[in-house]
Amino acid sequence: MFIVEFSPPEAAAAALVSLELLHKRAPNLPIFVFARGGNERTAARAMKLGASDYWPIHSVIVGELCSALQPLIEPPQTAIAATAPLVDKWRQPEIAGYALLKRIAQSAAASVYLARNAEFASPVALKIQAITGQQVVSIADRERFAKECEILSKLNHRSIANVLDYGITDDYLYLALEYFPCGSLRERLKHPVSEADAVNYAHQIGEALQIVHAARIVHRDLKPSNLMLTNENRLVLIDFGSARTQFMASDLTRSEDCTGTPYYVCPEQIDDREPDARGDLYSLGVVLFEMLSGTLPYLGKTLADILAAHRSAPIPRLPEHLKAYQAIVDRLLAKAPQDRYACAAEFLDALDGVRVQIGNQKSSNS
């Protein structure tokens, strides 16, 4: 793990030389870079020299870091190794028909590449997960993957990423989605968001959840980095890697751990209870509060502090000039699922009601 100061440049140069030497000596060793003062060019340089992942140090999310490190500290599964050759997760995979241009994201379970395929006019985001390795993909996991890809490919809604292709090879699961060069809501939130944009984005997210939930799918990992922006300022929901279809057999749907990002996770996921659609609405509440106020509703010095706040801390108050949205936030962030909106349609109706109320007040004041 390297912490690299990119200012002054000579300090960064020495650290990157060490990174390059280490990568040459141990090419299969995962190397994580935490950067202060870097940018896209420094990120690309670090990855080219052998970094497995790169985080701006101010935006490291504890849960994602833990997820990336956990597989590396678990003892090797010798029984599995004896029955199947392991796929090197850190080697660039090969998927027939796709030319991988660059890796654009990495998690403990999968990698996402910018890729080209002659069948598609534009580059695609190709998500690839090794079937064997640190996290073995069971037959049940493969069945669930194929079933959920089939369902997602039929959703056909402008607020949900188009599934262009998917498949299972001897070594990998892969999923090709439309690529969004404008980045995610996470990058957008690095700058203030207007009230109008925040409400517009929340409405778009609610519409996406309405479609997803109608297909009986629970996303389970709604957060700004899974909401991509288009040139038309439209949000598109991506990454259904943690999703569950509620109508499938329990042995295909039960998760043995708490999925989702700690800042956006609902209390029932923390308690290892399977969330329904109302869990996604809780995560939407976190995103809405963050967009309106510029800060997350629940923070803490440790992961335990954050999770405890989700379970028991009072719902925070919005600034006075945004108090019209407080009742909506209160319903979305209710600790008990039964106290939240029953469905995305109810949330959209409430949001539209506040919009009309504010519009009428502005008209009467003018």
Which residues are designated catalytic?
221
Cβ 33 vs Cβ 2: under 8 Å: yes
Cβ 171 vs Cβ 219: under 8 Å: no
Q: Is 237 helix (H, G, I), strand (E, B) or coil?
A: strand
Which residues touch 196 (CB under 8 Å, ≥6 apart)? none
227 HSE (CA, 13 A, CB side): 27
Cβ 171 vs Cβ 112: under 8 Å: no
Tokens 């502090």 belong to 305
In the sheet that holds 172-178, the strands lie side by side as 99-106, 111-116, 124-130, 172-178, 163-168
The amino acid present at 342, given as its one-letter code, is A
SS3 content of the chain, % helix, strand, coil (to 5): 45, 15, 40
CA gap 100, 310 in Å, rounded: 40
Cβ 43 vs Cβ 103: under 8 Å: no
Closest by CA to 137, choosing from 146, 149, 150, is 146
The C-alpha torsion from 334 through 337 and 340 to 343, rounded to 10°, is: 150
In terms of Cβ atoms closer than 10 Å to its own Cβ (0-12, 13-18, 19+), residue 92 is: exposed
Cβ 241 vs Cβ 220: under 8 Å: no
Tokens 């519409």 belong to 207
